[in-house]
Amino acid sequence: SVLDGIPRHLPSLQRAEKLVKKAHKNKLADKPLAKPAKQRYTKASLGRELFALAEYAQTRGWQPEALLRAETKRQEKALRKKEPRLAK
């Protein structure tokens, strides 16, 4: 699979970043895999949003690292299912 080689030990945000990069590079994703809450962010506003989401999760007793890891795993599974169809 073109998605092989992404180390499983990476923090979830780095793993998600590498998955997105490989998916787009290898034409597995012709549109965004997920929609952000806003359409436009600056670097600073995106950083604040990520921090706010981490805080939001933590105040509810959720682990943001585990949540992103689970979503990245779900996205990877969907992309791997799509891969054989694109090879035809």
Residue 83: the pLDDT is 83
Does 62 fall in a domain?
yes
pLDDT (tens, 9 = 90+) of the chain, 88 residues, equals: 889 999 999 999 999 999 999 999 988 887 778 888 777 899 999 999 999 999 999 999 999 999 999 999 999 999 999 887 766 5
Buried b (16+ CB within 10 A) or exposed e, 18-56: bbbebbeeeebbeeebeeeeeeeeeeeeeeeeeeeebee
Domain count, the chain: 1
Residue 87: the pLDDT is 64
Does 26 fall in a domain?
yes
Structural domain range at position 19: 12-87
Q: What pTM was computed for the model?
A: 0.84
